[in-house]
Amino acid sequence: MKKVITYGTFDLLHYGHINLLRRAKELGDYLIVALSTDEFNWNSKSKKCYFSYEKRKQLLEAIRYVDLVIPEESWEQKLSDVKEFRVDTFVMGDDWEGKFDFLKEHCEVIYLSRTPDISTTQIKTNLSAKKEKGLNCNE
């Protein structure tokens, strides 16, 4: 069985996330998603999520491409995850290109292109702008 792992926050789940998960799953038989915990997001990334870790985990577990969701609690855990779960392929978006090449001696490392014109940051910015203008989300 070929195991694939990817990492992320997956807040405000959108079609770009689904595309990434689908493409990651196509690279193997079993997809592990390491989901950033609320504490890790705040302490290491200065990010506050809209949805809690547990809610984001429930959403990911409902996606047919995802076989297992584990917590991401630190930047350093990637190597230990690759070893513990006997990962064959490590996948990240191409905005991380080169950052995880140190894992290449333990598994294949692939950077997938991001889905154009969508990101959680963009969604939050658009919603905030609409709120400031007093518009409904549909406008």
Q: Which of 45, 55, 83, 131 is catalytic?
A: 45
Q: Which of 2, 3, 25, 47 is catalytic?
A: 47
Helix (H) or strand (E) holding 111: strand 108-112
In angstroms, the CA 69 to CA 56 distance is 10
Catalytic, 47? Answer yes
Which of 137, 128, 87, 134 minimizes the C-alpha distance to 107? 87
Task: Please identify every residue annotated as catalytic.
Answer: 45, 47
